[in-house]
Amino acid sequence: MSDRNNIEVYIVRYLHGEITEDELRMLDLWLQESPENKKELVRLKTLHDLTRKRPAMEREDIERSWRKMMRKITGKTLPATLPDEPERKKIRPNVLLRYAAAAVVALLISFGVGDYFGRRSRPVEKIRPVVYNEVRVPKGGKPSEVNLSDGSVVRLNAATTLRYPSDFDGDTREVYLDGEAYFEVAKKEAQPFIVRLKQQNITVRGTAFNVEAYHGESYAIVTLQEGSISLESMNSSGLKINDVSLTPGQKAHFDQITGKMSVTRVDASLANTWLEGAYKFKDEPLLLICKRLENYYDVNIHMDGERLKNIRYTGTFSLRQDIRDVLRIINHEHQFRFRLDGSEIYIKSE
């Protein structure tokens, strides 16, 4: 969840019963995003249990509670007290919304977090801590294999991070990916497998596919080899904007800046040749090729000019080859020249 201000809005709408399904899903994603977010919810429940012994909280206690909670959610220090009516009229609407969200948090504490959340979603008392494992393959690192508790196998490429629970004991099997990975998912019709990316969710029940979705990149690519998957894409605010299904041999390319998605038929085997220690590319722009080389070889590549970035190439090389040899193979038509300075590589047009 990239926009913390949205959390305030979702909480307000949630309590008023006006939240949409997409917003409710994003609020739940925020809870799943990190153990700290769940701890905040548990903390609210604890405060609720403590304050039930008192008829109501004093204004000073409420204000102190909402200030502390909103600092956690927004990362900002709020005023010492809620503004009086004349002062509220001078405040911009978006600021008033933050005061409203803060007041909501105070009300949660005063009237019972568990009671309200229990009516709309999972009761707080039923939330059990989820133990997550995290595997990271650094830039320039060798692929790593992860065996999940359900029998699924995930192979991670260089510069990739996978977060996954020790056990899948809920209605779904969910993992979080940043980077490139090849999934072989164990088939369980009653328990869908969901791969959560920066702005996409991939839902499967048993299949094999390759995902390339690095957090700092402007695109995400999903290539299906076996089975079927559904791919849901969101904008930067977390609202769904695309929903497509892929069949074997199809590739979905999602532009995380414009929100556009394209689906094309490809040779799916090309997407996961890295598993065999090779990199095959067909009619790919030099910019995309260099992005991959940066991760495989732990280098930074600087290209001069937009024309150079869009030149398309087809080729094959072994990941065991030196980066200089790889660039020479790509540049067999002598369209550019390159210079190495440690881990920095500079490419210029001829």
CA distance 282 to 270: 8
CA–CA separation, 258 and 343 (whole Å): 32
Residue 262, token pair as written in the block? 């394209």
Of 41, 44, 60, 19, the residue nearest 111 (C-alpha): 44
The DSSP symbol for 332 reads T
Residues 36, 299: Cα–Cα separation, whole Å: 34
110-133 as b/e, with b when 16 or more CB fall inside 10 Å? bebbbebbeeeeeebeebeeeeee
Average pLDDT over residues 218-224: 92
pLDDT at position 321, please?
Answer: 92
Q: Whole-prediction pTM value?
A: 0.65
pLDDT band at residue 225 using 50, 70 and 90 as cut-offs: very high
* Burial class of residue 16 in the structure, from the number of CB atoms within 10 Å of its CB (0-12 exposed, 13-18 middle, 19+ buried): exposed
The reported pLDDT for the residue numbered 250 is 95
Average pLDDT over residues 178-193: 94
DSSP for 61-117, written as a single string: HHHHHHHHHHHHHHSSPPPSSPPPHHHHTTS-HHHHHHHHHHHHHHHHHHH-HHHHH
pLDDT tens sequence across 287-338: 999 999 999 999 999 998 888 999 999 988 898 999 999 999 898 888 899 9
pLDDT band at 264 (very low <50, low <70, confident <90, very high): very high
| pLDDT tens for each residue of 47-100 | 544 554 454 445 555 556 656 655 655 555 555 554 554 544 444 444 445 554
Q: Give buried/exposed letters for 331-349 (b at 16+ CB in 10 A, else e).
A: beeeebebeeeeeebebee
Pairwise CA distance, residues 80 & 101, whole Å: 15
pLDDT tens track for 144-170: 999 999 999 999 999 999 999 999 988
Distances (CA, A) of 278 to 130, 317, 319: 37, 6, 5
